[in-house]
Amino acid sequence: MKSDFIAIPDGDLCSPLGFEASGVKAGLKKSGNPDIALIHSKSPSSAAALFTKCRFPAAPVQISKKHLAKSRESYRAVVINSGNANACTGKSGLENASEMAKIAARELSCDAGNVLVCSTGRIGVPLPMNLIASGIPAAAAALSRKGGGDACAAIMTTDTFPKRLALSMELSGNKVTLAGMAKGAGMIAPDMKGLHATMICVITSDVAIAPRLLQKLSNEACEESFNRITVDGDTSTNDTVIVLANGMAGNPALKSAGGDSAKFAKALSYLMTELAKQIVLDGEGATKFVSVKVEKAASKKDALLCARTVANSLLCKTAWFGADPNWGRILAAAGRSGAKIKPDSFELYFDHLCAVSGGMASDVPECKLAEILKNDEFTVRIVLNCGDADCEVWTNDISYDYVKINADYHT
C-alpha cells in the first residue's frame, strides 16, 4: 500500500505547497496552553468534509456544513478553537461560530463562506468571544510555513501527544504532497458517513482534484479509517474531518476514478488510517492497542457489527487491561452483536494462539494466552465461518486512569 508514496520526516500541514498555519494562546484553556489554530491556503482550495451524525451537532459543525453547501471550490482557511466545544449553546452559539469565520476571513482578506470552523472542549458553555476576537487575529499574524506543529498543539485537549503525518508521491511526473493533523483521546467512536467535542482532523494537499471526486475519495477513506476506531464507544457532538486541496502541485486535475486518482486515494486512505491509529494509541488512560479482526462473516455489515461490539465491550476492555484472557466475554459480545453466528463453528485467536475452537476452549494453556495480553499491542481475531466478509476495528483497553480523567474533566 505504501509503494506509491513515502512519509516526509517531520512533515506537517504546511508540507504541501501553499499552506501556512499557526497556533496561539487566547486564554480559553485554564492551563494556558495554545487554544486557537489557523490553517490557511494561499490559493483557493477544493474542499471535502465529513461531520458527526450525532443529533446534537455543535454550532461549528452546522456553520461549516452551511458554508460547504454553497460551493466546494474556493476554500481558504480552517479556524479551530480548543477548550470550548460551542455545542448545545443555541442561537448565540451559531452566531459565535459564524463570527469566528468572519473574523478569520477579515484577517485573511477572503469571504467568510470560504472559511470552515471547528471547536473542541467542554459542551454547553458559551464561547468567550472576547478571547476569540483577539485570538484569531493573533493566529493570523503568526501564520507561517513553519507553523504546522503549533497548530497541531493548539487543538489538543486530553491528548498526550500531537498527531500528524505527511506523505509525498508523484502523479504524472508532478510531486504531490498531502498531510494531516488530528486530535482525540476520549469520546471516540466516530460515525461520519456523508455528512462527525473530540475527534477533529484537517488534511491539506497541493494536488489538483475536482471537489466531487475529493469528497467521494474522502468518504471512502474515512469509512475504512476513522469509522473503524473506538476508544469508549461515544460519538461526539463536534467530530469533523476536513480535506483541502489547492492544486498548487500542478498535476493534471484528477476528475475521475482510476489511474492517478487511484494512487491518490491509496495515499489518502493510508494517511487517515495512520492518524486514526494514533488517536487510539493516545486513548485516555490506555495501556494497550488492540486490533479486533473479524473474518468469514456472512456480510460486511455483520463483520463490522461483531468487531465494534467486541471493541466497545467494557468487560472485554477491562479484561485486556488486566491481561486476562477471558474469552467468554468476547463470545458474549459477539453473540449479542446481531451478526450471524454459528456457535459450533466459532473460532477465536489472541495473535496466533487459538483460544476457542468450535465454540469451546482450545487446548492452549491459559497462561500462554495471558502472556500475549501482557503485550502493548495484540490482535483479537474472530473467525465466524459464516461467509467471506472481513473487517478490522482498532481500539484499546480501559484502565483506572480512564475513569479518573473523565471523572475530573468537567471541573
Dmax (CA) for the chain in angstroms is 69
Choose, from 120, 177, 198, 237, the residue flagged as catalytic. Answer: 198
pLDDT in tens, the chain (411 residues): 446 899 999 999 999 999 999 999 999 998 999 999 999 999 999 999 999 888 899 999 999 999 999 877 899 999 999 999 999 999 999 999 999 999 999 999 999 999 999 999 989 999 999 999 999 999 999 999 999 999 999 999 878 899 999 999 999 999 999 999 999 754 444 444 433 336 899 999 999 999 999 999 999 999 999 989 887 655 678 999 999 999 999 999 999 989 999 999 999 999 999 999 999 888 777 899 999 999 999 999 999 999 999 999 999 999 999 999 999 999 999 999 999 999 999 999 999 999 999 999 999 999 999 999 999 999 999 999 999 999 999 999 998 887 787 776 553
Residue showing cell 516526509: 8
Task: Count the neighbouring beta carbons within 10 Å of the beta carbon of residue 124.
Answer: 13
Phi/psi at 82 (nearest 5 deg)?
-115, 165
Phi/psi at 262 (nearest 5 deg)?
-65, -40
Residue 198 appears among annotated catalytic residues: yes
Whole-angstrom distance, CA of residue 197 vs CA of residue 238: 4
Give CB contacts under 8 A, 24+ apart, made by 320-324: 320/288, 320/290, 320/373, 320/397, 321/287, 321/288, 321/397, 321/398, 321/399, 323/370, 323/373, 323/374, 324/370, 324/373
What residue ranges define each of the domains in the chain, with the CATH number in brackets?
5-281 (3.60.70.12), 289-408 (3.10.20.340)
Task: Give the pTM.
Answer: 0.90
Whole-angstrom distance, CA of residue 126 vs CA of residue 105: 22
